[in-house]
Amino acid sequence: DADVTQTPRNRITKTGKRIMLECSQTKGHDRMYWYRQDPGLGLRLIYYSFDVKDINKGEISDGYSVSRQAQAKFSLSLESAIPNQTALYFCATSDARGGEQYFGPGTRLTVT
């Protein structure tokens, strides 16, 4: 089955460290997204990409960067992690504007 995968699934890191979260998809979708989920705040969009040459900031991009290495891969980086970046991070894909988004299983990140 075509899928959206995220690695790692869990990560504990220290303040100031650089960390990369990876997302891969076999759905053949052009659109990819990174969200973070915090209790009581729902999901908030960090970055999104229409293709390898198109990267867009979302609602809360400060402190994050992304790389679209290929149609199937979209990585999220925290250049210098801080404790308030502790959250559940989701990757999603979509094949159409305004269409259904397909979510990965999530990465639980803890910054100590």
Partner 1 sequence: AQRVTQPEKLLSVFKGAPVELKCNYSYSGSPELFWYVQYSRQRLQLLLRHISRESIKGFTADLNKGETSFHLKKPFAQEEDSAMYYCALSPYNTDKLIFGTGTRLQVFP
Query: Which residues contact partner 1 by CB under 8 A?
Result: 31, 33, 35, 40-45, 48, 50, 58-59, 90, 92, 94, 97-98, 100-106
Q: How many residues does the chain have?
A: 112
Smaller CB separation from partner 1, 68 or 104: 104
Smaller CB separation from partner 1, 38 or 79: 38
Smaller CB separation from partner 1, 13 or 58: 58
Quote the tokens at residue 97.
């504007």
Q: How far is the CB of 55 from partner 1 (least distance, A)?
A: 12
Smaller CB separation from partner 1, 7 or 13: 7
Burial class (CB in 10 A: 0-12, 13-18, 19+), 27: middle
Quote the tokens at residue 30.
């052009």
41: Cβ contacts below 8 Å, ≥ 6 apart: none
85: Cβ contacts below 8 Å, ≥ 6 apart: 36, 63, 78, 109, 111
Q: How far is the CB of 81 from partner 1 (least distance, A)?
A: 24
